[in-house]
Amino acid sequence: MAEDLEAFRKDVRAWLADNCPPEMREPLKDVEDRCWGGRRFKFKNEAQKLWLDRMAAKGWTTPEWPKEYGGGGLSREEAKVLRAEMARINARSPLDSFGIWMLGPALLKYGTEEQKQKFLPPIIRGEIRWCQGYSEPGAGSDLASLQTRAEDRGDHWIVNGQKVWTSYADKADWIFCLVRTDPAAKKHEGISFVLFDMETPGVTTKPIVLISGNSPFCETFFDNVRVEKENLVGTLNKGWDVAKYLLQHERTMIGAMGQAAGVRPLGQIAKSTVGMDGEKLADTLLRTDIARLDVDLMAFKLAMERTTDRIKRGLSDPAAASMLKYYGTELNKRQYELVMSVGGAEALEWESERSRKGDDARTWLRTKANSIEGGTSEVQLNIIAKRILNLPGA
């Protein structure tokens, strides 16, 4: 077993050496360098496209998905080896995708065989870019009160309503969307999970400018949009189950974001901004905060590992994803407050090359959304109070 893994590691290393273009081993200069794929995506350069195509051909954009749909079919251990080997040579992610992170897992669990055959391969190859249509103006944390209506017209629905916080809706090809299919049912009942093309007549999007200066989200409007019934995922009026399953994935992902980002160690950066006093940072208060953060970052990484291991053993807590989401996002916000503190005046520059066009400041501001999107910290705490602690009235 361990020997098989070592053999696999060797193969991977050799393949990566041959196939990962040198340009794809450079750190991202900015968010614009990320590869999102999709019908309208413009590759930065030849290398980016090559890297995506080669990885997709092996199924390694989704290492653990089944081979039959074009995935890598790797075991969890093998996937870990692949990630480690990619990290070793600083290989960039070949494809960032809500299709991979969110829709895919839901389809694998709730999709029909036809749906899997139809939608998974283009996700894996980065041909179709997806966005998520959950939140509405009046239904942020309170998703169950959503208003977007789908009227039954026999073989299709006609959808009317409005979504907000649709990630990159202006750049996405398709949307997975919660709509109300039974207006008489209340709250969590009567909601369905459907898929449709963003080019369907009646769909319009309007980007939202964020405090970070970026516009990764849109308002999305549906005006008599036709949705085929074959594009219903899961059971009619039971879309809430799919959404919940998917939210857990999203929560774990958002919670883990700070980890994945690969922030430079703050203790090292601080050396140049506040200087040393003997063997310690001259600003001993900043040193204290960094040391305490480092302790917590390391512990949180272990908590993520432990949660995965517990799930594998069938020991998962009902609200483990809520815990990771809550703790991880709050930690990430704390981390970026310190990034700003360590960076000092330089990190406050918004447009200079010196500050990589305000990269630290923009990311700092972006982290503030972590504890809001995918269920606020307050909602996660409610869930823990109810499902883990069984507190009355929670």
Partner 1 sequence: MPLVLTEEQTMLQESAAGFLAESGVKELRRVRDERDPDGFSRDLWKAFAEMGFTGILAPEAFGGLGLGHVEAGVVMEEIGRNLTPSPFLSTAVIGVSALKHASEDRKADLLPRIVAGDLVTALAVDEGAKHNPARTAMSATRSGNGFRLDGKKSFVVDGHVADLMIVAARTAGSTGEQDGLTLFVVDPKTRGVSIERTVMVDAHNAARIDFDGVEVDADAVLGEVDGGWKLLEGVLNAGRAALASEMVGVGDEAFTRTVDYLKQRQQFGRLIGEFQALQHRSAHLWSDLEVTKAAVLKALQMLDEAPDAAAPYVSVAKARAGRTCTLAVQEAVQMFGGIGMTDEVDIGLFMKRGRVGQELFGDDNFHADRIARMASY
Minimum distance of a second copy from residue 295's CB (angstroms):
11
Determine which residue in the list 19, 75, 115, 145 makes contact with partner 1, applying CB under 8 A: 145
**Tokens 């251990």, residue located:** 77
Is-catalytic flag, 250? yes
Site for partner 1 contains 256 (CB under 8 A): no
Q: DSSP string covering 42-107, please? A: --SSHHHHHHHHHHHHHTTTSTTS-GGGT-----HHHHHHHHHHHHHTTPPPS---HIIIIIHHHH
Site for partner 1 contains 381 (CB under 8 A): yes
Distance between CA 33 and CA 42 in Å, rounded? 11
Span from 2-10, 34-42, 190-198, 283-291 in contact with partner 1 (CB under 8 A): 283-291
Site for partner 1 contains 75 (CB under 8 A): no
- Which token pair is 289? 């905060």
Nearer to a second copy, 282 or 303 (CB): 282
Say how many CA atoms lie within 13 Å of 233 toward its Cβ: 29
Site for partner 1 contains 244 (CB under 8 A): no
Site for partner 1 contains 318 (CB under 8 A): no
x-or-dash pattern for a second copy, window 285-324, by CB under 8 A? x-xxx-xx--------------------------------
278, interface contact from a second copy, partner 1, none, CB < 5-8 Å by kind: a second copy
Say how many CA atoms lie within 13 Å of 20 toward its Cβ: 21
Give the β-pairing of 232-233 and 191-197: antiparallel
Site for a second copy contains 76 (CB under 8 A): no
In this structure, which amino acid lies at residue 164? Answer: V
Determine which residue in the list 30, 53, 223, 346 makes contact with partner 1, applying CB under 8 A: 346
- Of 358-377, which residues contact partner 1 (CB under 8 A)? 358, 361, 364-365, 368-369, 371-373, 376-377
Minimum distance of a second copy from residue 231's CB (angstroms):
42
Q: Is 206 helix (H, G, I), strand (E, B) or coil?
A: strand
- Of 169-208, which residues contact partner 1 (CB under 8 A)? 208
Give the β-pairing of 130-133 and 174-180: parallel
- Which token pair is 75? 């075991």
Distance between CA 192 and CA 242 in Å, rounded? 9
Site for partner 1 contains 233 (CB under 8 A): no
- Which token pair is 376? 């606020």
Q: DSSP string covering 215-262, please? A: --EEEEEEEEEEEEGGGEESSTTBHHHHHHHHHHHHHHHHHHHHHHTT
Residue 346: how many CB atoms within 10 A of its CB?
13
Residues that bind partner 1 (rule: CB under 8 A) add up to a total of 94
CB 287 within 8 A of CB 281: yes
Determine which residue in the list 232, 270, 321, 339 makes contact with partner 1, applying CB under 8 A: 270
Site for partner 1 contains 89 (CB under 8 A): no
145, interface contact from partner 1, a second copy, none, CB < 5-8 Å by kind: partner 1
Minimum distance of partner 1 from residue 218's CB (angstroms):
12
Site for a second copy contains 277 (CB under 8 A): yes
- Which token pair is 141? 């944390």
Determine which residue in the list 22, 27, 154, 278 makes contact with a second copy, applying CB under 8 A: 278
Span from 83-91, 167-175, 195-203, 315-323 in contact with partner 1 (CB under 8 A): 315-323
The four Cα atoms 259, 262, 268, 272 give a dihedral, to 10 degrees, of -130
Site for a second copy contains 280 (CB under 8 A): yes
Minimum distance of a second copy from residue 278's CB (angstroms):
7
**Tokens 């040393």, residue located:** 276
105, interface contact from partner 1, a second copy, none, CB < 5-8 Å by kind: none
Catalytic residues, by residue number, are 250
| Interface contacts to a second copy, rule CB under 8 A | 277-278, 280, 284-285, 287-289, 291-292
